[in-house]
Amino acid sequence: MTQADASTPAAQALARVATADPVRPFVVAQLGQSLDGRIATLTGESRYINGDEGLDHLHRLRAVVDAVVVGAGTIAVDDPQLTVRRAPGASPARVVIDPRGRVGGAGKWLADDGASRIVITAAQHAGPPGAEVVVLPARDGQIAPRDIVAALAARGLRRILIEGGARTISAFIDAGAVDRLHLIFGCTIIGSGRPGLQLEPLARLADALRPATEVYKLGSRDILFDCGLRDADGE
């Protein structure tokens, strides 16, 4: 975990994560989306909706957390490295939520580079080589996000970045398990494709989350909305 550099764009947003109370877990989620609210094309292609500045911010976020978490869907489609390469700092632990053990042993996230690799699953299995397997209870195939946060915190991983995809982040928000949401809008219009957040349906618009939000221009083509979700209840 590295301290945020005060001279970088959105340094305040990064500092909120880096200086969070280390005693309790702190969860930040990030989603890069187009102006029309898509996180990928219909075929799942998402590289890159954001420009260089948005990517730089994501890598800076990785550098200030202890663990980066993605769902099995993102591993299957993107084969991401989940390391810090575009910013100073060490790579956090890499965590994949894979309840059915469908993630194979060949992904880039499994690189033996000194960072811990953890699979969160619902059924005991050997797991990919080099990864710790953490078995948690599931209901209807869903593992409670708060159980995942607690399991990571028990391993000393208290600053947690939920990096995607949309289904994983949505479940964490629905469970009230996200402190801050970093929505990065790239100046891109896709016009079709996979939607961003899909939360539990609302009965009334008055129940919508209305987070206190800070806005940062990251560069010429990316805008960060840093939303405080901890106290963002509807009316």
Ligand X SMILES: NC(=O)c1ccc[n+]([C@@H]2O[C@H](COP(=O)([O-])OP(=O)(O)OC[C@H]3O[C@@H](n4cnc5c(N)ncnc54)[C@H](OP(=O)(O)O)[C@@H]3O)[C@@H](O)[C@H]2O)c1
Query: Site for ligand X (CB under 6 A): which residue of 25, 71, 107, 128?
Result: 71
Residue whose Cβ sits closest to ligand X: 165
Q: Does 142 bind ligand X (CB under 6 A)?
A: yes
Which residue number, 5 or 174, has a Cβ lying nearer to ligand X?
Answer: 174
- Report d(CA 4, CA 107) in Å as an integer: 29
Min CB(80)–ligand X separation in Å: 8
Q: Does 145 bind ligand X (CB under 6 A)?
A: yes
Q: Does 119 bind ligand X (CB under 6 A)?
A: no
Indicate the SS3 state at residue 151. Answer: helix
Of residues 72, 71, 69, the one with CA closest to residue 93 = 69
- Report d(CA 42, CA 4) in Å as an integer: 35
- Report d(CA 106, CA 134) in Å as an integer: 19
Query: Site for ligand X (CB under 6 A): which residue of 10, 67, 171, 178?
Result: 171
x-marked contacts with ligand X along 85-104 as a string, rule CB under 6 A: ------------x-xx-x--
Of residues 106, 137, 110, 104, the one with CA closest to residue 121 = 137
Crossing angle between the packed helical segments 11-18 and 52-63, to the nearest 10 degrees: 20
Q: Does 166 bind ligand X (CB under 6 A)?
A: yes
Partners of 164 in beta bridges? 70
# of chain residues touching ligand X (CB under 6 A)? 31
Min CB(204)–ligand X separation in Å: 26
Q: Does 70 bind ligand X (CB under 6 A)?
A: yes
Query: Site for ligand X (CB under 6 A): which residue of 51, 92, 128, 165?
Result: 165
User: 50: burial class by Cβ within 10 Å (0-12, 13-18, 19+)?
Assistant: buried
80 near 69, Cβ under 8 Å? no
Please report, as ranges, the residues that interact with ligand X according to CB under 6 A.
31-33, 39-40, 44, 46, 49, 70-74, 77-78, 97, 99-100, 102, 141-143, 145, 163-168, 171, 194
